[in-house]
Amino acid sequence: MKNLLVIHQSAELYGSDKTLLLFLEGLDKSIFFPVVILPSDGPLKIALENSNITVYIAPVLKLYRKIFTPGNLLSFIRDIKTTQRFLAKLHQQYCFTIVYSNTLAVLAGLFFSKRHHLKHVWHVHEIIVHPKLIAALYPKILNRFAQVIICNSAATRENLTERLPALKNKCVIVYNGLNASTPDGFNAANKNSEHKDTITVTLIGRISRLKGHKWLLSTYINFLKSKNIKLLFVGSPVEGQEYYLDEVNKIITENGLETEITVMDFTQNLETVWQATDIAVMPSTEAESFGLVALEAMLRKKPVIASNHGGVTEIVVDKQTGLLVSPGNEEALAKAILTLAFDEKKRESFGLAGYERAAAKFSLQNYIDGITHVLNI
């Protein structure tokens, strides 16, 4: 039995949280015993404990933009000492053999694995471009403190290895995966049953700077608002960044679009959202490392329109399972939406091809097997 210390950045159920949950639920417990460290209570903690997975709450030494102020640095140093003492006590109890850090944001595994001479597997779910200092620093940290680096896409790996070519021998690509089965009662052919004459374009994800809500809103205002198309935003802002949501709501109100654009809080049950959706969009203004929402949409047989950069280009095949558009180009985004909005056969064709691709290339079992192989190296 290998006891596995898992350190993760949040207790929510967005992309990296959800993929961690799926991995740990599917992990062979006759080989591995996972112990998870989270920074707080939340839906991920509840879900893990419901699956009989041991969870503790402690500082995970999360790196964030405002950490370099004197007060925050002092707090971070105190947390290092607190966390290392706490993990050392857990180590006495569990005798960990592997440390698995999930996302670049957590640094607790770096210090702990180094001090106790343990194998450190670091799973990277981010493409960091700025701040430039952090973007340049992380590859060096990975090279020094991780024995194996799991990248969730080729785009993620390239972002690291272009900055530090020495990482090529440490990086392994393991694509995220999801279960291909659909819930009882879900029927992609019955999409938008309540508004059959209206095309619903759905953006699921954090309301944040990089997800492209403003780009999509501007595109809608300039090109789409008279086309019997409605937008659905599903997601909540990061704590402390509620102003992004305020800005989105202000644009909607100032343009009198309250009946055309709906903003919903994040929900764990997305099936009613997918049932109402005709087209899924991922208009990210910066490259995302993977794009789990695209995969979820494809498994619900929905065509996907996405920005032509980052890991999502390894998921969506242009003109086969969806359409890829130049980031920030309103005219191109509008053209893509209109192309699919008024061609039901193309939406169905892209949706079916997307489902087949997602089920074959991005299966949950492939994902679990890929990480398990790395842990066993």
pLDDT in tens, 86-125: 999 999 999 999 999 999 999 999 999 999 999 999 999 9
- pLDDT at residue 66 in the model: 61
The Cα angle at residue 201 between residues 197 and 204, in degrees rounded to 5: 145
Looking at residues 114-137, what average pLDDT do you find?
92
Q: How many H-runs (helices) and E-runs (strands) does the chain carry?
A: 13, 13
Report the C-alpha gap between 28 and 50 in whole angstroms: 17
Sign of CA dihedral 323, 327, 332, 335: positive
Question: Distance between alpha carbon 263 and the CA centroid of its chain, in Å?
Answer: 20
Rounded to the nearest integer, the mean pLDDT of the chain is 93
Looking at residues 296-307, what average pLDDT do you find?
98
- pLDDT at residue 61 in the model: 85
pTM of the model: 0.91
- pLDDT at residue 68 in the model: 60
- pLDDT at residue 65 in the model: 59
Contacts of 178 (CB under 8 A, 6+ apart): 22, 292, 295, 296, 299, 358, 362, 363, 364, 367
Q: Write down all domains in the chain, each with its CATH number in brackets.
A: 2-177+363-376 (3.40.50.2000), 188-361 (3.40.50.2000)
**pLDDT > 70? residue 351:** yes
Looking at residues 265-282, what average pLDDT do you find?
93
- pLDDT at residue 291 in the model: 93
Torsion angle of C-alpha atoms 368, 373, 375, 376, degrees rounded to 10? 140
- % of the chain exceeding 90 in pLDDT: 82
- pLDDT at residue 376 in the model: 93
- Bin 137: left if φ > 0, else alpha if -120 < ψ < 50, else beta: alpha
| Confidence band of 268 (pLDDT split at 50, 70, 90) | confident
